[in-house]
């Protein structure tokens, strides 16, 4: 542990509340203020689009001005986006609310870079544990974020959820204060390697190890976001399960996403990323299997917990493997490219989730995830076979 890692963990607790509250509330708010009900999941989807579009931008900004200033400015921007969301809800303006979700996605593109900053703050062999510790902070973030949103939703009378976003604005500004003490790392190393040749995007993609890392994170995230985005709509609007119970499911889903981080880093160090990716894929298969049972609160709860565990194994193992596939002078290009692919694909999955669950069923959209699991398995087998040759 060092100061940078502690600062990142603390910032993750406050900053990641934006993601949890957006997943929990934006689809419900969208269904209430949208002029077209089919667009209910447009705000959470455009949030993911904001992440996807901003990933390369975030990497370039931090390569130019450093991680500290980049993180601080992103935190301020996220707080302003929350205030814009509160204004939109106050005026029942669906377009402005969607725009605020997009800006929150832009801020989240910077927060997703915390994991790379955490990996860079320790020796490479300790990167899996550093990433795990950072993501473990998501447990605290999930519970305080969703609890805060529920507790403050009636803060402004006659305008439900305005208070939620005003409170969220206070939380998302905290990383700007915390990370003002962050120290940029490897500045001298970056300058020394500045003139070295950086591989093209095609060369990154053709590297079996890089592709394995990217596919694990990408399709692990696609499946998770696809099913998680559809969950509030399926539970609340299709099966008449209360919003409070939806909140509990999302909270325990996020618990499933981050609690395994207590052991994921150690498991990766002991067994290697490939075996942990296989385990993550297995948990996704269990999630899909749960869709064959009655769509009630308990089954949604179990399904979303399994989904969270699968995501944790795939995402952390993918990130841990990725940081071993590039040189120091390539890091911003490699990280930006990886996150562009991860969140562009996730945006498509999230955008389609609301429409597909409304015209099909919970079971059908679970079955739609199987091809993504096949792609993950293909990339693992291909990379491992290349390594053995």
Label residue 365 left, alpha or beta by phi (over 0 means left) and psi (-120 to 50 means alpha). Answer: alpha
Tokens of 77: 């921007």
Question: What is the per-residue pLDDT for 387?
Answer: 67
Q: Does residue 328 surpass a pLDDT of 80?
A: yes
Q: What are the tens digits of pLDDT across the range 57-69?
A: 999 999 899 999 9
Q: Does residue 193 surpass a pLDDT of 60?
A: no
Q: What are the tens digits of pLDDT across the range 364-379?
A: 999 999 999 999 999 9
Task: Determine the Cα–Cα distance for residues 204 and 208; give it in Å rounded to an integer.
Answer: 9
Q: Does residue 329 surpass a pLDDT of 80?
A: yes
Residues 234-256: what's their mean pLDDT?
84
Q: Does residue 354 surpass a pLDDT of 80?
A: no
Is the pTM higher than 0.85? The answer reads no
3-class secondary structure per residue, the chain: CCHHHHHHHHHHHHHCHHHHHHHHHHHHHHHHHCCCHHHCCHHHHHHHHHHHHHHHHHHHHHHHHCHHHHHHHHHHHHHHHHHHHHHHHHCCCHHHHHHHHHHHHHHHHHHCCHHHHHHHCCCHHHHHHHHHHHHHHHHHHHHHHHHHHHHCCCCCCCCCCHHHHHHHHHHHCHHHHHHHHCCCCCHHHHHHCCCCCCCCHHHHHHCHHHHHHHHHHHHHHHHHHHHHHHHHHHHHHHCCCCHHHHHHHHHHHHHHHHCCHHHHHHHHHHHCHHHHHHHHHHHHHHHHHHCCCCCCHHHHHHHHHHHHHHHHHHHHHHHHHHCCCCCHHHHHHHHHHHHHHHHHHHHHHHHHHHHHHHHCCHHHHHHCCHHHHHHHHHHHHHHHHHHHC
Of residues 345 and 236, the one with the higher pLDDT is: 345
Tokens of 376: 């993950």
Q: Does residue 222 surpass a pLDDT of 90?
A: yes
Question: What is the per-residue pLDDT for 156?
Answer: 87
Q: Does residue 191 surpass a pLDDT of 80?
A: no
Q: Does residue 192 surpass a pLDDT of 60?
A: no
Task: Determine the Cα–Cα distance for residues 93 and 364; give it in Å rounded to an integer.
Answer: 33
Residues 15-21: what's their mean pLDDT?
90
**For the ranges 146-160, 237-251, 268-282, the one whose mean pLDDT is highest:** 268-282
Residues 64-85: what's their mean pLDDT?
96
Task: Determine the Cα–Cα distance for residues 298 and 206; give it in Å rounded to an integer.
Answer: 43
Q: Which of 47-51, 55-59, 308-312, 348-352 has the lowest mean pLDDT?
A: 348-352
Task: Determine the Cα–Cα distance for residues 310 and 264; give it in Å rounded to an integer.
Answer: 11
By the 10 Å C-beta count (0-12 exposed, 13-18 middle, 19+ buried), 48 is classed as: buried
Tell the CATH superfamily of the 3-176+203-388 domain.
Answer: MFS general substrate transporter like domains (1.20.1250.20)
């Amino acid at each position: 542990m060092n100061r940078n890692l502690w600062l990142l963990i603390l910032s993750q607790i406050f900053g990641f509340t934006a993601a949890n509250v957006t997943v929990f509330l934006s689809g419900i708010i969208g269904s209430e203020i949208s002029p077209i009900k089919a667009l209910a999941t447009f705000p959470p989807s455009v949030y993911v689009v904001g992440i996807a579009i901003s990933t390369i931008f975030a990497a370039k900004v931090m390569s130019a001005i450093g991680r500290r200033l980049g993180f601080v400015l992103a935190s301020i921007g996220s707080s302003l986006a929350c205030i814009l969301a509160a204004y939109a809800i106050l005026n029942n303006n669906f377009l402005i609310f969607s725009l605020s979700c997009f800006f929150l996605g832009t801020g989240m593109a910077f927060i997703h870079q915390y994991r790379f900053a955490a990996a860079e703050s320790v020796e490479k062999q300790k990167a899996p544990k550093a990433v795990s510790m950072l993501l473990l902070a998501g447990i605290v973030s999930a519970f305080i974020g969703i609890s805060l949103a529920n507790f403050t939703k009636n803060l402004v009378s006659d305008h439900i959820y305005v208070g939620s976003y005003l409170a969220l604005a206070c939380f998302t500004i905290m990383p700007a204060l915390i990370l003002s003490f962050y120290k940029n790392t490897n500045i001298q190393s970056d300058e020394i390697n500045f003139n070295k040749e950086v591989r093209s995007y095609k060369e990154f993609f053709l590297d079996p190890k890089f592709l394995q890392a990217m596919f694990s994170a990408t399709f692990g995230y696609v499946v998770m976001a696809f099913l998680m985005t559809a969950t509030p709509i399926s539970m609340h609007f299709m099966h008449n399960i209360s919003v409070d119970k939806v909140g509990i499911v999302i909270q325990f889903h996020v618990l499933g996403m981050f609690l395994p981080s207590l052991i994921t880093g150690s498991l990766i160090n002991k067994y290697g990323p490939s075996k942990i990716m296989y385990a993550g894929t297995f948990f996704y298969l269990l999630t899909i299997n749960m869709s064959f049972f009655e769509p009630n609160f308990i089954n949604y709860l179990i399904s979303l917990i399994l989904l969270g565990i699968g995501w944790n194994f795939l995402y952390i193992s993918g990130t841990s493997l990725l940081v071993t596939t590039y040189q120091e002078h390539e890091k911003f290009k490699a990280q930006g490219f990886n996150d562009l692919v991860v969140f562009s694909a996730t945006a498509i999955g999230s955008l389609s989730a609301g429409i597909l669950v409304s015209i099909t069923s919970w079971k059908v959209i679970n079955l739609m995830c199987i091809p993504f699991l096949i792609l993950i398995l293909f990339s693992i087998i291909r990379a491992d076979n290349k390594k053995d040759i």
